[in-house]
Amino acid sequence: MKRENISRENFFFKCSSCGDGYEISLKDFIAKELPKILDLDSNKLVESYKRGNLKFYQSRYINALQFRKAVGKIEAGTMICLCDNLHVIRGFPKIRRTLMLKEALKRHFSGEVAVEEKMNGYNVRIASLDGEILAFTRGGYICPYTTRKAPEILKLDEFFRDNPDLVICGEMVGTNNPYVSHYYPEIGKLGFRIFDIREKLSGKPLPIKKKRSMLKKYNLPSVRLFGVYSLDEAPSEILKLVKKLGEDNREGVVIKDPEMQIPPLKYTSSQAHDDELIYAFRFPFDLGKAFFFSRVIREGFQSYEMQESADEMEKRAQRLGESILYPMIETIKHVSQSDVAGEDLIMDAQSLQEVEEFIGHLHELGVMAVVIKYEDGKAVIRRIHQSTTDKINNYLDGGLY
């Protein structure tokens, strides 16, 4: 089927079980075929489409149906890709957080846990759709930058030739990262670390051992596995580990059932909490509220579980306070010099057109950004935080709070 044949109204649907193909309207597809494919109630899907939570998605790469919100067991970020064949790329499930390791691990897992490093970047799902390798962001958008970069960084052809029905889930990390810039000495500008391999339609993850042996076989980079621990030894090992990770400016761990039958949990370092507060309070009126409470709560429970001395607590309190106040004061100073509250991000690009395409993608996500500079295959883009800029200006002019 040619792509031009697909439209919002009608498309050619090839049934994967019987192999027959016929033309169907999108509405009928949602009401009649999609419920069978996803094993979901038709009314729920139709309702979701009406409300705009299930949306027709069109890009230069594919046409698809995008789950903006979860419907039943189908996660937000799930994409029903309407290519020659239909491909379902399930959304990446939310990972819950533990505040008290000792108690939570016992309640949540059984037997042993595998402890992996949690890398700080952005979540990417990579899949091959009828031979074309595409990279999806958490929300289910196809990111032009990641789609271009992932095959440059990773050797994916062989993996997808042998396993077209698997999805690679990983974190894009490094400093030349237009979403989340974080420095890792072993990565530098841009790198990718894989944490899950999942089945397309079911989203089912491979067990840890199988995943690691597969990644080894195809020479693909995995996140670090620190070890597999019994539930008795895990909490104290993780606390030690996370302390050390924090000192090295690293984010934390994800704790997983080795068989991947039980959903994973995450646990992060104090420095990661502070880093996020520093970021949020650079733009207090855009991000402050959403970030603040949860990071402070994490710090409180971590200090308690680590049984900190008065001295250690004081250091934690001081770092926490500085992480909130200093960046905010910097931004007030900056805006007072008639500048905008913005952050500059670096990305590699072979042409200005590529940069502009990425900016277009950000606008689609509701992110305000402009190109500041493009030279020697590198672009600086500025993400503008409008509320922070406007509110600070207003208060500087005497506006009341």
Residues lying near ligand ATP in the complex (CB under 6 A)? 92, 94-95, 116-119, 123, 171, 195, 223, 254, 266
Closest to ligand ATP by CB, 117 or 257: 117
Give least dist CB 88 to ligand ATP, A.
19
Length of the chain: 401
Residue 114 or 355 having the CB closest to ligand ATP: 114
Q: CB of residue 95 vs ligand ATP: minimum separation in angstroms?
A: 4
Nearer to ligand ATP, 123 or 389 (CB): 123
Phi, psi of 336 (to 5 degrees): -65, -20
Question: In this complex, which beta carbon is closest to ligand ATP, that of residue 138 or of residue 319?
Answer: 138
Residue 333, number of CB atoms within 10 A of its CB: 11
Burial class for 140, CB neighbours closer than 10 Å (0-12, 13-18, 19+): buried
> Angle, nearest 10°, between helix axes 289-305 and 270-282?
160
Let me know the angle formed at the C-alpha of 337 by 336 and 339, rounded to the nearest 5 degrees. 95
Q: Which is nearer to ligand ATP, 95 or 332 (CB)?
A: 95
**Distance, CA of 322 to CA of 274 (rounded, Å):** 9
**96-97/265-268 β-pairing:** parallel
Q: How far is the CB of 33 from ligand ATP (least distance, A)?
A: 29
**Rounded to an integer, what distance in angstroms lies between the CA atom of residue 116 and that of residue 243?**
15
| Position closest to ligand ATP via CB | 123
Q: Closer CB to ligand ATP, residue 80 or residue 173? A: 173
Other beta carbons within 10 angstroms of residue 80's beta carbon come to 23
Residue 285 — φ and ψ, nearest 5°? Answer: -85, -5
d(Cα 351, Cα 376) in Å, to the nearest integer?
Answer: 9
Q: Is 33 helix (H, G, I), strand (E, B) or coil?
A: helix
Crossing angle of helices 101-108 and 234-247, in 10° steps, is 130
Query: Given the complex with ligand ATP, which of 70 and 313 has the nearer CB atom?
Result: 70
Q: What CA–CA distance (Å, rounded) separates 338 from 280?
A: 21
